[in-house]
Structure 1
Amino acid sequence: MTSSAPAGADKLDAGVLKIAGVVILGTVMAILDTTVVNVALQALALEFKTSFDTIQWVATGYMLALVAVIPVTGWASDRFGTKRLYMLAIVLFLVGSVLAGMAWDITSLIVFRVMQGLGGGMLMPAGMTIMTKAAGPQRVGRVMSVLGVPMLLGPIGGPILGGWLVDEVSWRWIFYINVPIGLIALLLVWRVLPADDPQPGDKFDFPGMLMLSPGLAALIYGVSNIPAAGGIGEVEVWLPAVAGIVLIGAFLVRAKRVANPLVDLKLFANRNFSIAVLATAFFATSFFGAMLLFPTYFLLVRGETALDAGLLMAPQGVGAMLTMPIAGALADKIGPRKVVLPGLVLIVAGMVMFTQVGADTPYLQLLGALFVTGLGMGATMMPMMSAALQTLTQRTVARASTAMSIIQQAFGAIGTAIMSIILAALLAGKFGVPTQLGQIAATQAIHDPRTHDFAASAAADAFASTFFWALILIAVCVVPALFLPGARKKVSSGPSGDSDHQDEDEGTTPVMLGH
């Protein structure tokens, strides 16, 4: 299958942009749903008269389903075609959305959120595959920038939309809002996306699926349980985590020996791909973990409403929106390394400010730091992904997109859990309560006028210390980023998925990776 774009073209033509618009419409639903629900958890806890530990599974169940279904996507893209798979994912997501909006108790809501996650987990990797095939590997940086738009709309629009719907309409509409978007997306996918040729030759790796998907879910489930359980020594933490590690390990051992594994480990023989995966893993762990902390600080320490906290997060998205299109074009022209490293410097600069945050830090200072962090995010996330895909052939793009999506989602979820664990432990220490009661104790003390000043200062100090750990992880990300490709790649469409067919632009130092 050849690219629909001319090999020497630098700009994305109208046909590719039309496909991009359709793909964005579909993926924006799944990404919005990862953030829109977070601001509604308090309202849902009151609606269903349950504890925060239980209601948290409305978000965690969606995340686990998201991670568990991604490994199947690469095979399904090859077997049925990405267009059919994309349409199936939208339908499954819509059915889950309608049922979640009709939920009658907490159990039904969690089950229907899992159904949503099964559809949502296929949308992003399938969308990445569609876009990369449409534009060709030589323009993958621009493709990733376009596909990054919904990733920005989630952090910007999700909390704002969710807060408004909960306050002014009903919590049920945070799910019903997906229906008109999804129906339009489904119609456009059917009309606009070109049909692709399925490749039914590969046998589906059912044993691999039974190892990898439950393994990822069990590991993240165990790690996510640490704050509620009170420590890693509790059986509900270590048992699923160990089971998940064993299953993932068994999958890796088996994947080296079978012809068509669920995730093609041969991709990691491409050094460019391996380095990009490593950088993405560190980045997802640190940055997505920090993304949880920003709005929580505004809600807990500064006492903002859910809607106001969402609005305060907007400068970060605006910053990313400014740099992401430029970063994509530059990554194609001068190589991802020269774009990613300055982006990481910007993120570090913004994060340093948050390591000094207090209970009365001026809002102008906070919003400025978020804006700088957003500038860095726009120059970092998508160029890392383009570095992984730009030296691959059309035949390997679907499997590579799947592998990158697994890494990003799984390590992002682990990072969120790690930051939650650190913050919960620090809050518990500040207020002298068990770990699982730290945030509750802090909230009660801050809302009490007699203890407000002390409690807000103590909680802010806990946030500052947690941001310090996020800063360390971001700084570590610089190490693999130093080895990302430093010059533009010209990729052939040969049968190999390695980097043997690449040339360097003149005036740059060749980075001989993958040889």
Structure 2
Amino acid sequence: MYDMRYGVRTSFRTTGLVVLLGVVMTMLDTTIVNVALGTLARDFHTTLATIQWAATGYLLAMSMTVPVTGWAVGRFGVRNVWLGSLVLFVAGSALCAAAWSLWSLVAFRVVQGVGGGLLQPVGQMMLAQAAGKERMGRAMGLISVPAMLVPVLGPPLGGLLVQGPGWRWLFLVNLPVCAVALLAALLLLPREGGAGQRQPLDVLGLALLSPGLAAVIYGLSEVGNGALLPHPALWIGMALVAVFVWRSLRGTSPHGTSLHGTSLRGTSLRGTSLLDLRLFGDRTFAAAVLALGCYSAAMLGFTVLVPLYSQLAEGGTALEAGLLLAPMGIGAAITMPLAGKLTDSRGPRGTGATGVVLVVASIAAFVPAGGGPVPMFTLGLGHGLVATSVMAAAFRTLEPAAIPAATTLSTIALRLAGPFGVALVAVLLQVFTRAGVAQAYPYTFWMAAGLAGVSLLPIALIGSGTWRRSSSAPA
């Protein structure tokens, strides 16, 4: 298709290849280190609680980087931001492998997280722009596959590396893949014509939002780990985000455009915000992001609850608990490509609603079925339908100029939804257990199913209608 913004001809398949190569390792690094925490604590002569910062630092850095995505792309261009992020991630990986102390490892994980935090939203942005509205479903299906499967593969791969060549290979394994990703981006991504937008960075907005998001995510993580609900980081973060929202609603959009591309320059709105929160004025976008938030919270909470149930309630081993999630990934890999085609041809509402119903039924059947692979497989089938169709719906009614801001907003919503779901499940399980409820785990599973079911309400607001393929769209 022809990209009017940059005046270059782009290929959906080419962009898809570049994006997949870039995001695979960043997804893998969200979980691959988890199995090595005990080994790292021993080698660096510290406690497990302290070594957790090797994992937490990466996740917090990723979250803090996301808000600047839209500005960076507008200022430097998609290609340059993509290449710069890959270089940061590669450099962080090499430095992590050479870490000589706990805090050097944490610092280098932060460097990794800064690069990784930009790669996923920028990759999603590139795919959305290359696909156009006619192939948005297939684009989101393409990026959803690594997002679903790769983190599940992290712990088994990490275990093999730690038991084999050692923990430093958890980071060295990134280098050859990222080198290929860099080469592919240099050769395949077209150079963008014209100068970047000279929009100044909203420094005050960034100073409010980035630490606010990090504090909220850290506070929710602490709640999930058993801390009291009024954790100081949680409330401080919520206050910072609230001030950012109040300030943003009084200012203009980041690039002076409305959600449908109409110029807003010269209006009476004051200031320039880091994020265009008025995108939520688009009903389809707002409904899709709300649905993704509810659904993602339920799914992340469920995937944390499953290993706990397997080991503590059923007496399974850690390996058995990890393998329980494998059928879910297989099921999702089957339906994600199908969901993309269905979304492009028939619209997202029916596909997404069908997936949610299948997920809710599978969670409800998990405990009665003894936690076997069948409900996990059917849950994966449903997950593939939901993740692809609803994510595609978020960009359906937006003009290309609004996609960078929309990508940033949706990514932030998902980054917040995950820790919220984990914290909610952890709190509910603690409450049921302390109350002496014999069926604490089944009740908590039912709550997760209910939260997933809530996403049906915003999905119903997305609207129906066939996504008609334009006659000029390449296959």
- 1:8 aligned residue: none
Q: Are 1:483 and 2:456 an aligned pair? A: no
- 1:336 aligned residue: 348
The answer as to whether partners of 1:320 and 1:376 remain within 8 angstroms in 2 is: yes
Alpha-carbon spacing, 1:65–1:417, altered in 2? closer, same or farther (3 Å): farther
Which residue identity does 1:288 align to in structure 2?
L
The farther-off stretch of 465-474 and 141-150 is 465-474
Alpha-carbon spacing, 1:195–1:420, altered in 2? closer, same or farther (3 Å): farther
The answer as to whether partners of 2:137 and 2:389 remain within 8 angstroms in 1 is: yes
Structure 1 residue 299 displacement after superposition: 4.8
Structure 1 residue 491 displacement after superposition: 10
- 1:287 aligned residue: 299
The answer as to whether partners of 1:53 and 1:228 remain within 8 angstroms in 2 is: no
- Once the two structures are superposed, residues 231-250 of structure 1 have per-residue CA deviations (whole angstroms, 9 ceiling, x without a partner) of 124xxx1x222221111111
1:45-194 map, 5 Å: 45-194=41-190
TM-score normalized with structure 1 length: 0.81
- Once the two structures are superposed, residues 289-309 of structure 1 have per-residue CA deviations (whole angstroms, 9 ceiling, x without a partner) of 212223344455556565554
Q: Are 1:219 and 2:216 an aligned pair? A: yes
Structure 1 residue 34 displacement after superposition: 1.2
User: What CA distance in whole angstroms lies between the structure 1 residues aligned with 2:306 and 2:287?
Assistant: 29
1:245 is aligned, of 203, 223, 238, to: 238
Alpha-carbon spacing, 1:326–1:229, altered in 2? closer, same or farther (3 Å): closer
Structure 1 residue 474 displacement after superposition: 0.6
User: What CA distance in whole angstroms lies between the structure 2 residues aligned with 1:281 and 1:315?
Assistant: 23
Structure 1 residue 61 displacement after superposition: 2.0
2:249 is aligned, of 251, 256, 269, to: 256
Let me know the Cα RMSD of the aligned residues: 2.6
Structure 1 residue 59 displacement after superposition: 2.2
Classify the secondary structure of the residue corresponding to 1:226: helix
The answer as to whether partners of 1:280 and 1:384 remain within 8 angstroms in 2 is: yes
- 1:438 aligned residue: none
Classify the secondary structure of the residue corresponding to 2:461: coil
- Once the two structures are superposed, residues 392-432 of structure 1 have per-residue CA deviations (whole angstroms, 9 ceiling, x without a partner) of 1111111111111111112112222333344456567779x
- 2:258 aligned residue: none
- 1:416 aligned residue: 422
The answer as to whether partners of 2:291 and 2:458 remain within 8 angstroms in 1 is: yes
The answer as to whether partners of 2:152 and 2:325 remain within 8 angstroms in 1 is: yes
1:356-435 map, 5 Å: 356=368, 361=370, 366-423=372-429
Classify the secondary structure of the residue corresponding to 1:225: helix
User: What CA distance in whole angstroms lies between the structure 2 residues aligned with 1:288 and 1:144?
Assistant: 19
Structure 1 residue 356 displacement after superposition: 4.3
Which residue identity does 2:407 align to in structure 1?
S
User: What CA distance in whole angstroms lies between the structure 2 residues aligned with 1:114 and 1:86?
Assistant: 18
The answer as to whether partners of 1:164 and 1:307 remain within 8 angstroms in 2 is: no
Structure 1 residue 287 displacement after superposition: 0.8
User: What CA distance in whole angstroms lies between the structure 1 residues aligned with 2:10 and 2:197?
Assistant: 31
1:27 is aligned, of 3, 20, 23, to: 23
TM-score normalized with structure 2 length: 0.87
User: What CA distance in whole angstroms lies between the structure 1 residues aligned with 2:57 and 2:420?
Assistant: 14
- 2:268 aligned residue: none
- Once the two structures are superposed, residues 257-276 of structure 1 have per-residue CA deviations (whole angstroms, 9 ceiling, x without a partner) of 22322111121111111111
Which residue identity does 1:192 align to in structure 2?
L
Alpha-carbon spacing, 1:305–1:44, altered in 2? closer, same or farther (3 Å): farther
- 1:505 aligned residue: none
The answer as to whether partners of 1:45 and 1:55 remain within 8 angstroms in 2 is: yes
Structure 1 residue 192 displacement after superposition: 0.6
User: What CA distance in whole angstroms lies between the structure 2 residues aligned with 1:278 and 1:321?
Assistant: 24
User: What CA distance in whole angstroms lies between the structure 2 residues aligned with 1:355 and 1:479?
Assistant: 26
Which residue identity does 2:59 align to in structure 1?
M
The answer as to whether partners of 1:31 and 1:154 remain within 8 angstroms in 2 is: yes
The farther-off stretch of 375-384 and 298-307 is 298-307
User: What CA distance in whole angstroms lies between the structure 1 residues aligned with 2:152 and 2:237?
Assistant: 33
1:319 is aligned, of 308, 324, 331, to: 331
- 2:473 aligned residue: none
Structure 1 residue 15 displacement after superposition: 3.1
Classify the secondary structure of the residue corresponding to 1:400: helix
Alpha-carbon spacing, 1:75–1:483, altered in 2? closer, same or farther (3 Å): same
Structure 1 residue 288 displacement after superposition: 1.6
1:43 is aligned, of 39, 44, 48, to: 39
Alpha-carbon spacing, 1:104–1:324, altered in 2? closer, same or farther (3 Å): same
The answer as to whether partners of 1:140 and 1:332 remain within 8 angstroms in 2 is: yes
